[in-house]
Amino acid sequence: MKLRPRRLRLSPGIRIMVCETSLESSDFIYPLFVTHGRGIKQEISSMPGVFQWSPDLLADEAKNIAELGIPAVILFGIPESKDPIGLENFSENGIVQQSIRAIKQSEPEMIVITDVCLCEYTDHGHCGILNLGENKNPALPEGYVLNDETLDVLAKVAISHVQAGADIVAPSGMMDGMVAAIRKGLDALHFEHIPILSYSVKYASSFYGPFREAAQGTPKFGDRQSHQMDPANSREALREAALDLEEGADMLMVKPALAYLDVIHLLKQNHQETPLAAYNVSGEYAMIKAAAANGWLDERRTVLEVLLSIKRSGADLIITYHAKDAARWLKENQ
């Protein structure tokens, strides 16, 4: 035998020398669910180890995250009340706005990313203004998520987050033209320096189940298939990414991650110059937690393997609920 690949696997030292992909805590973005009140740290039943936080507890939590070497968080807000448009979403004292200020006060260096969408704030749970009532467009189905009407609200939300101190805005609603609308809104107020991380390729996925409990954003009727992507499609992902870049997106995202590693790979191959994030979503987290709780999987090894696979497929950044555990484990492995 001339070639024996096992020669390069003989010892830990050799294995480390030929290791192609590495995982670091600086690759991670940690999601935080924020809710009104004081002293609240409420565990989400389908996501053990993940909590809804009230703003007063965020100072300490931000410190913990920073100490683990995780550079960024992404915020999801649970509003006090909901209405057809989601007014709290762009209110100066909205839950996300309060939380940004609390984190920035405690950890000014922490990069605060905000999810820009309507679904957690609307009483119907949809990602935009609906085709209902007096001004209904008869050419579109009743209850359809209206695209251009929603863009104005998304721009308002992004501006409000940035005014409260957000460093990056991340539109997740899959509305056509959302990046351009937000860019225009931000630039008009001299926020040209604020990057947009676009959820460019977001699939209509069953893996969001636990998140919808965590963020209370389940649609009251119907689903999100008229705007989120069909899991059958990957060529369409290239088109979404190209459009977002044209509209001014600074970074792209694929979501979920695990069932879409091919899409992550495809996007990276086609847009090597653009930082690419992957969202390791709530259902992916819940699967590992459930199996580990049953003793069916070794949580630590499984999580690190999964995160490595997301990185290997082409993601530069990973939004993951495992971030704190993984950062701790990576430190211990050193």
Binding site for ligand PBG (CB under 6 A): 115, 117, 119, 172, 208, 211-212, 217, 224, 281-282
In whole angstroms, what is the distance from residue 163 CA to residue 81 CA?
22
Q: How far is the CB of 188 from ligand PBG (least distance, A)?
A: 24
Q: How far is the CB of 217 from ligand PBG (least distance, A)?
A: 6
Structural tokens at position 277: 């994030």
- The 3-class SS string of 64-88 reads HHHHCCCCEEEEEEECCCCECCCHH
Q: How far is the CB of 281 from ligand PBG (least distance, A)?
A: 4
Beta carbons within 10 angstroms of residue 295's beta carbon: 8
Amino acid letter for position 63? K
In whole angstroms, what is the distance from residue 187 CA to residue 169 CA?
13
* Radius of gyration of the chain from its Cα atoms, rounded to whole angstroms: 20
By C-beta, is 55 or 173 nearer to ligand PBG? 173
CA 192 from chain centre, in angstroms, equals: 22
In whole angstroms, what is the distance from residue 220 CA to residue 222 CA?
7
* Region label for 29, one of left (φ > 0), alpha (ψ between -120 and 50) or beta (otherwise): beta
Q: Any idea which residues carry the catalytic annotation?
A: 202, 255
Q: Closest by alpha carbon to 122, among 89, 96, 148?
A: 89
The answer to whether 88 and 95 are in contact (CB under 8 A) is: yes
When CB distances to ligand PBG are compared, the closest residue is 211
Q: How far is the CB of 39 from ligand PBG (least distance, A)?
A: 25
By C-beta, is 55 or 77 nearer to ligand PBG? 77
By C-beta, is 215 or 330 nearer to ligand PBG? 215
By C-beta, is 188 or 290 nearer to ligand PBG? 290
Structural tokens at position 28: 């991670």
Q: Could you identify the residue written with the tokens 């990602």?
A: 127
Q: How far is the CB of 263 from ligand PBG (least distance, A)?
A: 16
By C-beta, is 212 or 265 nearer to ligand PBG? 212
Q: How far is the CB of 82 from ligand PBG (least distance, A)?
A: 14
By C-beta, is 87 or 106 nearer to ligand PBG? 87
Specify the length of the chain in residues: 334
Report the relative pairing of strands 111-116 and 72-78 from DSSP bridges: parallel
Q: Dihedral of the CA atoms 83, 86, 87, 89 (nearest 10)?
A: 150
Q: How far is the CB of 13 from ligand PBG (least distance, A)?
A: 38
By C-beta, is 204 or 243 nearer to ligand PBG? 204
* Region label for 54, one of left (φ > 0), alpha (ψ between -120 and 50) or beta (otherwise): beta
> What burial letters (b/e) apply to 143-154, b meaning 16+ CB within 10 Å?
bbbbbebbbebb
